[in-house]
Chains A and B, each alone.
Chain A
Amino acid sequence: MVNLEKIIEDTAVKMLQLAVTELPPDVMNALKKARERETNERAKKILDTLITNAEIAKERRVPICQDTGLIIWYVKVGEDFPIKSKLYEILKNATIRATKEVPLRPNAVDPITEKNTGNNTGPHVPYINWEIVPGNELHLTVLPKGGGSEYWCRLYMIKPIEGLNGAIKCVLQTLKEAMGKPCPPLVIGVGIGGGADIALKLAKKAILRPLDDMHPNPKVAELEQRVLNLANKLGIGPMGLGGDTTCLGVKVEVAARHVATYPVGIVIQCWAARRCSVIINKDGSVRYLTHKV
């Protein structure tokens, strides 16, 4: 008999370690391509530093960035996967263990007492996004989300009359205000429609998409490309010190909107766009999707 609970917990700890120490290949490639295209001398140097830093972190298995984020899990559990309601406890334990073992920086602060809990857990944290899907597998993704970029996430409730151009304006406005503070080059997630919460949920989920993927809806794919081009025309550049590379990618998701509202959720992710995904079968086998193990 395999001890599935233990496999999940151990895998989740490993996922956190991989996520904070090694960028997924699509992010690394995007950085290198941006470096080749960049024309600003200062920006080239900064991109070189980012790439070197990521390589050193991977080699030494130390965190790429000292801010190892607030821990957010995305869980898709197959209806025939035997463990369900216990998953919360397992992922919480894994988060506590990883904080010690990787180690991660303790980032969870109780906003009432202002005390750092010391182990990256607290009310609603780690946060888990649930989905139930057919099948006998468990899909896990972890997003250690840094605070510096999260600070610049925005929700705009624009007038429906303003439409898509209005949404684009919101993105550019956000970037202009943020400048170098969220550590560009950035990955931008945009959620359009739904309610206020849905727009932001979609936007955050969007930053988990591989940078080199294509949105299945060609109109949305075209919009993503358009926003990316405009964002890079702003001239903010790596770390906000000027240059062509402000964004590595823009990912848009849409939901139907209420006739009278037009929510635009914007999630800003830094160049250290860390994530790790696996699939665990009910027989205990584990497949890593974002990292070579």
Chain B
Amino acid sequence: MAEYKLKTPISEEEIRKLRVGDIIYISGIIVSARDKAHMKALKEDLPEELKKYLKDGVVYHVGPVVKKINDKLIPISAGPTTSIRMEPVEHEFIKRFKVRVVVGKGGMGDKTLSALKEFGAVYAHWPGGCGALAVNAIKNVKKVFFLEELGVPDAFWVLEVENFGPLLITMDSHGGSIHKEVSEKVERNFQQILEQL
């Protein structure tokens, strides 16, 4: 288990080094996207500037709580949302926008796992509910896309972060998935418990 500090834009080579169980810290730019943002990105052509932030970049499954401070919207709590909701579309999202790191909670399925392998990306896990801690790393809101149309939680927030982590790599680009491992173990425990009920 190793620890890495990554800076966006992130190369495929850096990603291929990572294995499940590794810890990463990210500095640079991350972009938030939940269900609606994913759908929009796949249905319409996104602004070039936003595409630039996504390429070799980081997508974070988050809908922050924001507070208006001196006329600027600042996230004050920004933990991850349940990633599996994006499972039907994440493969295409990674493929189209060349995203290198997907940050979320709860893990994702086989389709995403195959995209990580094919296009060179990882899934990094941030403990769900830890929104207060996550904002420590957010230094600035660079831009917000489609705030009016999508609403606060669902807009694309482009955030400048410093040492965002520790993020645990739970799915890597070599087919490894801690979520799968634990699921298999839980299934065995479940069957055993039922037999003894």
Task: List the interface of chain A (C-beta within 8 A of B).
Answer: 42, 46, 49-50, 52-54, 56-57, 60, 62-68, 103-107, 115-116, 118, 146, 148, 151, 165, 168-169, 172-173, 176, 179-181, 183, 230, 233-242, 270-272
Query: Considering the chains assembled together, what is the distance between the CA atoms of A148 and B80 in angstroms?
Result: 10
Task: Establish whether residues A64 and B77, one from each chain, have CB atoms under 8 Å apart when the complex forms.
Answer: yes
Q: Which residues of A contact B128 (CB under 8 A)?
A: 65, 148, 180, 183, 239, 270
Q: Which residues of B contact A52 (CB under 8 A)?
A: 133
**Residues 128-162 of chain B: 1 if any A CB is under 8 Å from the residue's CB, otherwise 0?**
11111111100000000000000111100000000
Partner of B129, one of A56, A64, A106, A242: A64
Q: Which residues of A contact B130 (CB under 8 A)?
A: 49-50, 53, 65
* In the complex, B106 has a CB within 8 A of chain A: yes
Q: Which residues of B contact A107 (CB under 8 A)?
A: 153
Query: Considering the chains assembled together, what is the distance between the CA atoms of A173 and B190 in angstroms?
Result: 8
Task: Establish whether residues B193 and A230, one from each chain, have CB atoms under 8 Å apart when the complex forms.
Answer: yes
Task: List the interface of chain B (C-beta within 8 A of A).
Answer: 62-67, 75-79, 81-82, 84, 105-107, 125, 127-136, 151-154, 168, 170, 178-179, 181-183, 185-187, 189-190, 193-194, 197
Task: Establish whether residues A239 and B125, one from each chain, have CB atoms under 8 Å apart when the complex forms.
Answer: yes
Task: Establish whether residues B186 and A63, one from each chain, have CB atoms under 8 Å apart when the complex forms.
Answer: no
Q: Which residues of A contact B189 (CB under 8 A)?
A: 233-235
Q: Which residues of B contact A180 (CB under 8 A)?
A: 105-107, 128, 179, 182
Pick 22 A–B contacts, CB within 8 A, sort by A. Answer: A46-B127, A53-B79, A53-B133, A62-B132, A62-B135, A64-B129, A65-B77, A66-B64, A67-B131, A103-B66, A103-B67, A105-B153, A116-B151, A116-B153, A146-B129, A148-B82, A165-B197, A168-B197, A172-B193, A233-B189, A242-B178, A242-B182
Task: Establish whether residues B129 and A105, one from each chain, have CB atoms under 8 Å apart when the complex forms.
Answer: no
Task: Establish whether residues A236 and B64, one from each chain, have CB atoms under 8 Å apart when the complex forms.
Answer: no
Q: Which residues of A contact B152 (CB under 8 A)?
A: 105-106, 116
Do A66 and B77 form a contact, CB below 8 Å, given A57-B132, A165-B197? yes
Task: Establish whether residues A63 and B81, one from each chain, have CB atoms under 8 Å apart when the complex forms.
Answer: no
Q: Which residues of A contact B76 (CB under 8 A)?
A: 62-63, 103
Closest A residue to B197 by beta carbon equals A165
Query: Considering the chains assembled together, what is the distance between the CA atoms of A116 and B63 in angstroms?
Result: 13
Do A169 and B197 form a contact, CB below 8 Å, given A64-B77, A179-B106, A270-B128? yes
Task: Establish whether residues B185 and A270, one from each chain, have CB atoms under 8 Å apart when the complex forms.
Answer: no
Task: Establish whether residues B132 and A50, one from each chain, have CB atoms under 8 Å apart when the complex forms.
Answer: no
Query: Considering the chains assembled together, what is the distance between the CA atoms of A282 and B106 in angstroms?
Result: 46
Do A240 and B107 form a contact, CB below 8 Å, given A66-B65, A67-B63, A179-B182? yes
Partner of B63, one of A46, A57, A66, A104: A66
Closest A residue to B78 by beta carbon equals A66
Query: Considering the chains assembled together, what is the distance between the CA atoms of A176 and B134 in angstroms?
Result: 28
Query: Of residues A52, A105, A115, A237, which shows the largest number of chain B Cβ atoms within 10 Å of its Cβ?
Result: A105
Task: Establish whether residues A236 and B65, one from each chain, have CB atoms under 8 Å apart when the complex forms.
Answer: no
Which 9 pairs show the lowest CB-CB distances between chains A and B? A183-B128, A116-B151, A57-B132, A66-B131, A181-B106, A63-B77, A53-B130, A65-B129, A66-B77
Task: Establish whether residues A236 and B186, one from each chain, have CB atoms under 8 Å apart when the complex forms.
Answer: yes
Task: Establish whether residues B107 and A179, one from each chain, have CB atoms under 8 Å apart when the complex forms.
Answer: yes
Query: Considering the chains assembled together, what is the distance between the CA atoms of A92 and B179 in angstroms?
Result: 41
Q: Which residues of A contact B129 (CB under 8 A)?
A: 50, 53, 64-65, 67, 146, 183, 270-272
Task: Establish whether residues A105 and B65, one from each chain, have CB atoms under 8 Å apart when the complex forms.
Answer: yes
Query: Considering the chains assembled together, what is the distance between the CA atoms of A230 and B84 in angstroms?
Result: 26
Least CB distance, A108 to chain B, in whole angstroms: 10
Query: Considering the chains assembled together, what is the distance between the CA atoms of A176 and B66 in angstroms?
Result: 34
Query: Considering the chains assembled together, what is the distance between the CA atoms of A172 and B107 in angstroms?
Result: 20
Query: Considering the chains assembled together, what is the distance between the CA atoms of A67 and B134 in angstroms?
Result: 13
Least CB distance, B28 to chain A, in whole angstroms: 21
Query: Considering the chains assembled together, what is the distance between the CA atoms of A183 and B152 in angstroms?
Result: 22
Task: Establish whether residues A239 and B105, one from each chain, have CB atoms under 8 Å apart when the complex forms.
Answer: yes
Task: Establish whether residues A106 and B168, one from each chain, have CB atoms under 8 Å apart when the complex forms.
Answer: no
Query: Of residues A49, A57, A63, A272, which shows the largest number of chain B Cβ atoms within 10 Å of its Cβ?
Result: A63
Closest A residue to B62 by beta carbon equals A66
Task: Establish whether residues A238 and B127, one from each chain, have CB atoms under 8 Å apart when the complex forms.
Answer: yes
Q: Which residues of A contact B185 (CB under 8 A)?
A: 235, 242
Closest B residue to A101 by beta carbon equals B67
Query: Of residues B62, B127, B128, B130, which shows the largest number of chain A Cβ atoms within 10 Å of its Cβ?
Result: B128
Query: Considering the chains assembled together, what is the distance between the CA atoms of A169 and B197 in angstroms?
Result: 9
Q: Which residues of B contact A272 (CB under 8 A)?
A: 129
Other than the given A64-B131, A118-B151, 10 more pairs (CB < 8 A) read: A63-B77, A65-B131, A66-B79, A179-B106, A180-B105, A181-B82, A234-B193, A235-B189, A239-B105, A241-B168
